[in-house]
Amino acid sequence: MENFKASGIYSKQAHVHIPEGLYEEEHGRKGFFGKVSHIYHEHPPVNWTNLEGDLKPQQQPPMFGDQLNVNYFQPILRNKDCVINIGHYTVSFECFFRNADFDELYFIHEGTGRIESIYGHLDYKRGDYIVMPRGTTYKLFVDTPSKLLKIESASEFEDPTRGILGPNAIYDQTVLESPEVAKGSEQNLQEYKLEIKRLGKITTVTYPFNPLDAHGWKGSVYPYKLSIYDICPVMSHRYHMPPSAHTTFLCQNFVVCSFVERPLEDKKHGVLKVPFYHSNIDYDEVLFYHQGNFFSRDNIDAGALTFHPQGIHHGPHPKAFKAGTDKEYTDEYAVMIDTRYPLEPTEWFTKNENKDYWKSWM
Ligand SMILES: [Fe+2]
């Protein structure tokens, strides 16, 4: 390791046997896969008594309540690489849709339905990720009210490399589902409207036939589905894996990671079970809580979201260390979006956020 230096009291393995009475901070570059130092503090860096300015850690209470208009995608955070939206759909899309600005990734928080696309149909249910390539014509049909997270990306959603884990790690390719050719189910209507989004504006095209009219297709551009419940987490009983080990989709300047249920690290090896304190200085960090008991943070429920901007520390809440000591398993599921460049909260975000979240470490 080039230029590696050490000084004073430290642990030989990161996150393991942290010196008694000290608190470990990870000061890392490039998210969790760049150069890194660990600092051993006398006080947790989140033990502030006041915080003023833009860098407050931010939180949304469960987002699918009355504060959210139904049947509409509400942007909540954005930068030039991605837009994070949430939607509560109680009825099907009114029109066919084609996004000419962004590739799209749906995460189904709740609900069932079907996406009919020019490539065929994909049923969806709770826990599904659906990748929709830019330019695909499709329509979403709701069976039961559907709570959705939709990430729009300026670049394609790609697989992370598996490296030394080999191609069958994390999930086997056999769990991916892609559509078989099928026509749109709506037939014999007078007209069919297709909305195309380009530069944020909508162009509406009317056809006298259902635009989902393909009799066949071939190639490597098509929508596909992956369930978060099919993800096999990378883990070690002796080392708390960094979030980057849980990467599900790689895009230009951001990643999407999935945290899924797993056994916790083994107490007898002195391993830290809760996330270490960090200010991932090169990335903004967004976490959407899908299901389970989020024991490292107080008062976080399913459907909530946290936003930790670059430059300010975050880490477990005070009660989490205690709660984690004897816990052997975590049942939590969450989706993380880490962005290289700062995200801007939208007006809706600012209006609905829990303004006191930053006090939750005090
Ligand atoms: Fe974090």
Answer yes or no: do 319 and 259 share one domain: yes
> 14-18, 61-65, 193-197: which has the minimum mean pLDDT?
14-18
Q: Residue 222 is part of which domain span?
A: 73-228
Cα 310 to averaged position of ligand 1 atoms, centre (Å): 10
Tell me which residue of 83, 93, 86, 82 sits closest to 107, measured CA to CA.
Answer: 86
Answer yes or no: do 202 and 242 share one domain: no
Cα 126 to averaged position of ligand 1 atoms, centre (Å): 25
pLDDT digits (tens, 9 = 90+) for 227-256: 999 999 999 999 999 899 999 999 999 999
Cα 172 to averaged position of ligand 1 atoms, centre (Å): 27
Residue 47: inside a domain: yes
Answer yes or no: do 256 and 353 share one domain: yes
Answer yes or no: do 110 and 160 share one domain: yes
Cα 265 to averaged position of ligand 1 atoms, centre (Å): 18
Cβ(309)–Cβ(37) under 8 Å? Answer: no
| pLDDT > 90 fraction of the chain, expressed in percent and rounded | 83
- Our count of domains for the chain comes to 2
Cα 238 to averaged position of ligand 1 atoms, centre (Å): 20
Q: Quickly tell me which residue has 């969806």 as its tokens.
A: 124
Residue 242: inside a domain: yes
Cα 51 to averaged position of ligand 1 atoms, centre (Å): 19
Residue 65: inside a domain: no
Answer yes or no: do 185 and 298 share one domain: no
Question: What's the pLDDT band for 1 if we cut at 50, 70, 90?
Answer: low
Answer yes or no: do 184 and 309 share one domain: no
pLDDT at position 279 is: 77
Question: Distance between alpha carbon 191 and the CA centroid of its chain, in Å?
Answer: 37
Please say which residue of 194, 228, 262 terminates a domain. Answer: 228
Cβ(150)–Cβ(105) under 8 Å? Answer: yes
Cα 285 to averaged position of ligand 1 atoms, centre (Å): 6
Cβ(357)–Cβ(57) under 8 Å? Answer: yes
Please say which residue of 189, 204, 228 terminates a domain. Answer: 228
Cα 34 to averaged position of ligand 1 atoms, centre (Å): 15
Cα 101 to averaged position of ligand 1 atoms, centre (Å): 29
Longest dimension (CA), the chain: 77
Tell me which residue of 212, 225, 223 sits closest to 96, measured CA to CA.
Answer: 212
By CB atoms closer than 10 A (0-12, 13-18, 19+), residue 145 is middle
pLDDT at position 201 is: 98
Cα 132 to averaged position of ligand 1 atoms, centre (Å): 27
pLDDT digits (tens, 9 = 90+) for 293-324: 887 776 689 999 999 999 999 888 777 777 77
Residue 7: inside a domain: no
Cβ(83)–Cβ(151) under 8 Å? Answer: yes
Q: Which residues contact 141 (CB under 8 A, 6 or more apart)?
A: 92, 93, 113, 114, 115, 116, 185
User: 3-class DSSP state for residue 42?
Assistant: coil
pLDDT digits (tens, 9 = 90+) for 67-108: 999 999 999 999 999 999 999 999 999 999 999 999 999 999
Cα 16 to averaged position of ligand 1 atoms, centre (Å): 18
How large is the average pLDDT for residues 37-52? 94
Cα 188 to averaged position of ligand 1 atoms, centre (Å): 52
User: What average pLDDT does the chain have?
Assistant: 94
Domain CATH for 269: 2.60.120.10
